[in-house]
Amino acid sequence: MGGGGAPLTLGTAGHIDHGKTTLVRALTGVDTDRLPEEQRRGMTIELGYAPLVLPSGRRLSVVDVPGHEKLVRTMVAGATGIDLFLLVVAADDGVMPQTREHLSVLRGLGVARGVVAITKADLADPARAADEARELVPEAEVVVGADAVAAALDRAVASLPSRADADGAALLHVDRSFTIHGAGRVVTGTLWSGTIGRGDELLVLPAGARARVREVQVHDERVDRAAAGQRVAVNLRDATPVRGDVLTAEPIEPSHILDVELDTRIEHGTRVHVHHGTRESAARVAWLGGRFHQLRCESPLIARRDDRVVVRSIAPADTLGGGRILDPAARRHGPSRDVTARLEQLARGEEPGLGGRTPQSGAGLRSPSPQSEVDEAAAEPMLARLRDAWLEPPPTASFDADEQALLAQLRHAGRAERAGPFTFHPDALTEAAQRVATIMRAEGEITLARLRDELQTSRRYAQALLEHLDTQRITRRVGDKRVPGSRADSLPPWPPAS
């Protein structure tokens, strides 16, 4: 990699006309609005690409996305696979609808790191927009001016892991496909994992055709082998993939039904668009309890476990949220105790193997067993009590026998969650997790006393919460402190946007 460090890709984000493309040009010298229609209309329509060299010498790939509200799907296709964001907010306009929507997309995709740039500081005092941005994105540095942006990006990438460090077979979600006279078909995308080099034979999915790699370029320069995390252009023989197709070295079964963990709860039966990689599909959502949902797609996705999805509503078009695929090859099923237990295992990164229940066998997906059926008439007041008590519910043992039975049913249905001696409303635990993750992001660690003070609660609740978060891998205990666990980065900051 020379002195450039491991490859990383930066994606722009932000409302239309806020100056994303202008800032990319100031940083890279490249005008990514190269289509005649883009020049004429003064707006970005297609994804643009440019190499960026930071003051430290670190090299990044930049994907410049459109801000137009009708082009959010293009934005999602560009943002998929990026490592960090550059969110642009114009001083004279402040935070606008697509500022928020692009941020929900980034959070849905798990892109947690980035920088906020306030542009058009010559037109208005940047202080107000900067305050709005800080409130919306407390985890990111907010800066004004191209030089300050470049310096902040250097700080942001310093500790960012690259996809090139992860294992895996070659995988590229095609975001552009075109024909070059005399060369044939060229496709581009961000290489999610593995490497691609001249002479490699790759599969084109979902069709399943085989294609031979004739040449590989990274930012218009021919390379022997491109590494994960880079923007690559691949010239292929024998196949003509289009946007949304996947180039891969290993077969992946197309998915229609996926069990996912989302950062928001979506009403059962809602019709949505699911975005994954550079593909999308209409789908219906089945709620499985808590943050677990099943997405039943009309067209196939080429998805793997732990990949990210973004879920958008159809009318009005808006981003509802996003999350992680737990099972890309699920069977059609509803909520049940077994389903919840299995998804919780998958969410913790475990194999739900006990008793021969593997993801493939589907044996864990029996229809709801009698004890998992919840008495709805009794459930509503109980859920209201848990919600009212929020982060200080009474000890589970203090409920009478019938109430305890009901709490157990709610837990099995994923509508309540146990942490130590207490049973919480899942939304309360989600809030606690987000608050803890936000503190750790800012301070590097958290102690019991720090959380007790933050929540203005007793030691007992703080302890139960931290122990619960340890099991969820949000926190990891080191001596008498907690540091970020493997899943801490997947949480949105607290307080939430909007």
Ligand X SMILES: Nc1nc2c(ncn2[C@@H]2O[C@H](COP(=O)(O)OP(=O)(O)OP(=O)(O)O)[C@@H](O)[C@H]2O)c(=O)[nH]1
Chain positions contacting ligand X, by CB under 6 A? 14, 16-22, 42-44, 66-68, 88, 119-120, 122-123
State in angstroms the smallest separation of the CB of 37 from Mg ion.
Answer: 13
- Helix 376-389 crosses helix 426-443 at what angle (to 10 degrees)? 30
Which residue type sits at 104? S
Q: State the nearest-atom distance from the C-beta of 20 to Mg ion, in Å.
A: 5
190 binds, among ligand X, Mg ion, none (CB under 5 to 8 A by kind): none
Stretch that binds Mg ion, among 16-24, 69-77, 181-189, 455-463 (CB under 5 A): 16-24
Three-state DSSP at 463 gives helix
Query: Judged by CB under 5 A, which of 20, 58, 107, 120 binds Mg ion?
Result: 20
Nearer to ligand X, 9 or 12 (CB): 12
For 69, other C-beta atoms within 10 Å of its C-beta total 15
Residues 6+ apart with CB under 8 A from 423: 386, 393, 396, 407, 410, 411, 416, 417
Q: Which of positions 27-56 make contact with Mg ion (CB under 5 A)?
A: 44
Alpha helices in 138-180 (DSSP H): 146-157
Nearer to ligand X, 93 or 263 (CB): 93
Footprint on residues 344-383 left by Mg ion (CB under 5 A): none
CB of 14 to ligand X, least distance (A): 6
Counting DSSP H helices and E strands in the chain, the numbers are: 12, 27
Helix (H, G, I), strand (E, B) or coil at 315: coil
- Residue 322, binding choice from Mg ion, ligand X, none, Cβ under 5 to 8 Å by partner class: none
Query: Which residues share a beta bridge with 87?
Result: 13, 116
Q: Which is nearer to Mg ion, 66 or 194 (CB)?
A: 66
What does the alpha-carbon distance between residue 111 and residue 161 come to, in Å, rounded to a whole number? 12
Least distance (Å) between residue 145 CB and ligand X: 9
Q: Which is nearer to ligand X, 72 or 272 (CB)?
A: 72
Cβ closer to ligand X: 126 or 194?
A: 126
Give the C-alpha distances (Å, rounded to integers) separating 289 from 342, 369, 412: 12, 15, 9
Q: Which residue is nearest to ligand X (CB)?
A: 67
Q: How far apart are CA 150 and CA 154, in angstroms?
A: 6
> 45 or 408: whose CB is closer to ligand X?
45
Q: Shortest Cβ distance from residue 212 to ligand X (Å)?
A: 36
Which one of Mg ion, ligand X, none interacts with residue 19, CB within 5 to 8 A by kind? ligand X
What's the min distance (Å) between Cβ of 188 and Mg ion? 18
Output the smallest distance, CB 142 to ligand X, in A. Answer: 15
| Residue 384 CB coordination number (10 Å) | 11
- 89: helix, strand or coil: strand
From Mg ion, ligand X, none, which one binds at residue 126 (CB under 5 to 8 Å depending on kind)?
none
- Is the backbone peptide bond immediately before 138 cis, with ω within 30 degrees of 0? no
| Min separation Cβ 11 and ligand X, Å | 13
484 binds, among Mg ion, ligand X, none (CB under 5 to 8 A by kind): none
Taking CB within 5 to 8 Å according to partner kind, which of Mg ion, ligand X, none is near residue 337? none
Distances (CA, A) of 464 to 182, 349, 395, 494: 66, 22, 11, 20
Q: Residue 20 or 333: which CB sits closer to Mg ion?
A: 20
C-beta closer to ligand X: residue 61 or 98: 98
Q: Is 99 in the site for Mg ion (CB under 5 A)?
A: no
18 binds, among ligand X, Mg ion, none (CB under 5 to 8 A by kind): ligand X
Closest separation in Å from C-beta 91 to ligand X: 8
DSSP reduced 3-state for 464: helix
| Residue number with CB closer to ligand X (72 or 440) | 72
CB of 32 to Mg ion, least distance (A): 7
Q: Which does 122 bind (CB under 5 to 8 A by kind): Mg ion, ligand X, none?
A: ligand X
Token look-up 């060299």 returns 53
Going across the sheet that includes 59-64, the strands are 48-53, 59-64, 8-13, 84-90, 114-119, 141-144
CB 282 within 8 A of CB 297: yes
Determine contact, residues 57/48, Cβ cutoff 8 Å.
no
- For residues 207 and 229, the answer to whether their CB atoms sit within 8 Å is no
Beta carbon of residue 120, minimum distance to ligand X (angstroms, whole number): 4
Kindly give, in sequence order, each residue whose CB lies less than 8 Å from that of residue 456, ignoring residues fewer than 6 positions away: none
For ligand X, the closer of residues 70 and 222 by Cβ is: 70
CB nearer to ligand X: pick between 70 and 225 = 70
265 binds, among ligand X, Mg ion, none (CB under 5 to 8 A by kind): none
Residues near Mg ion (CB under 5 A) are 20-21, 44
